[in-house]
Structure 1
């Protein structure tokens, strides 16, 4: 595994991995938080799953990727610090896992979804197999840009609760609009839930992961 940049947990595949899934946790938790979700997303253990810990501590316990000052607009300093550390860690991941980046999914919950958008769709970043965004938003940060025109046909799965008091569902709807207008292929689901992960959508994403791996498409780097 990548040395020294981010603490992490790994859930091995059942045999030779068909792909990989990186899961980024939300605010105030750690790298263990989404591992139970990994078992529901990939019960057959076809994928190797890796969950890194965000680099910034959040008292009294837990970690976060950036300081929250206003929803939709991450704090610039902490966002770019986490972006750089996570980019370095992700760039070393294919060699460490033996799984190509184009067969590695990048996903997360809440601010983990925000970072998944940033690292999966950001200018200058290579395209993973797909991006999974659960209860997140496309980040607006001065000096940061998405490069959606180089992601034609790229798969993104978005799930969000219509009763979410933390990140309102309008952020997910706007993300869907922007991505589809740019030519990305979006799987989108809403549910009448608060800021959490909807179990029925997990089952939908399980099939989405299988379908994307079964039908690789040529993408711009």
Structure 2
């Protein structure tokens, strides 16, 4: 049976009884330490338990990965499915292991982590999180994988992207915003005059976004 030990990860405890969870997935070639400090930036009062997992793949040029890159926008089929299924099982084990309601989980990430957050939060058959935070990512196109926005109207999604991003072009961020808005999701979209990185000013804005999404989510009781 899958459990939270299936992926190496770090946990930042909540200050008291956790009101929910904030899970952040790193980008290509990083690890579970990369976004750990972002947990406190997005949830400074530590109302949520924070978790940062490590991607399951070790690929050139080094570090951890969620899938192999063949073409931007189109993750490699085999490695994507392997990473997705392992991450899904790991994610589903978190609420019981860490003591929070699954409906009160904010799922986010940067670059590859943003792509996987879209997949895990919007994939067919997946439960809806309280919100999705996608920084410099794209909606993945993979054979056999389907995004399913039916019944997710009003789901809060925050998208941040650099207009000068040379890795994942701004057009992919705009495409995600356009498609999710058209599907009825509650999209917060921010473009920043920067490259493939996280805008600290947008991170400040996300403090209220994360808190509001968790407060609006069902208690799970």
Q: Please give the TM-score of this superposition, normalised by the length of structure 2.
A: 0.95
- Deviation of the 1:2 alpha carbon: 3.0
Is the contact made by 2:14 and 2:48 (CA closer than 8 Å) also made in structure 1?
Answer: yes
CA distance in 2 between counterparts of 1:108 and 1:41 reads 12
Q: Greater CA deviation, 56-65 or 77-86?
A: 56-65
Aligned residue number for residue 104 of structure 1:
105
Q: Give the structure 1 partner of residue 213 of structure 2.
A: 212
Instruction: Say how many residue pairs are matched.
Output: 218
Q: Distance in 1 between matches of 2:160 and 2:26?
A: 15
Match of 1:77 in 2: 78
1:118 corresponds in structure 2 to 119
Q: Which residue of 1 aligns with 2:162?
A: 161
Give 1:217 shift.
Answer: 6.4
Q: C-alpha displacement at 1:17, in angstroms? A: 1.0
Partner-residue secondary structure (3-state), 1:83: helix
Alpha-carbon offset, residue 184 of structure 1: 0.3
What residue is the counterpart of 1:38 in the other structure? 39
SS in 1 for 2:81: helix
Q: In the aligned structure 2, how far is the partner of 1:198 from the partner of 1:72?
A: 22
Q: Give the 3 Å change call, closer, same or farther, for CA 99–68 of structure 1 in structure 2.
A: same
CA distance in 2, matches of 1:77, 1:186: 30
Residue 150 of structure 1, CA deviation: 2.2
1:195 — aligned with what? 196
Unaligned runs of 5+ in 1: none
Q: What TM-score do you get using the length of structure 1 for normalisation?
A: 0.95
Q: How many angstroms apart in 1 are the aligned matches of 2:62 and 2:37? A: 20
User: Contact 2:43 / 2:211 at 8 angstroms: preserved in 1?
Assistant: no
CA 205–68 in structure 1, closer or farther in 2 if over 3 Å, else same: same
Tell me how far 1:3 sits from its aligned partner. Answer: 4.4
Instruction: Give the direction of change, closer, same or farther, for the CA distance of 1:172–1:7 in structure 2 (3 Å limit).
Output: same
Work out the CA distance in 2 between the residues paired with 1:217 and 1:187.
21
Corresponding residue number in structure 1 for 2:134: 133
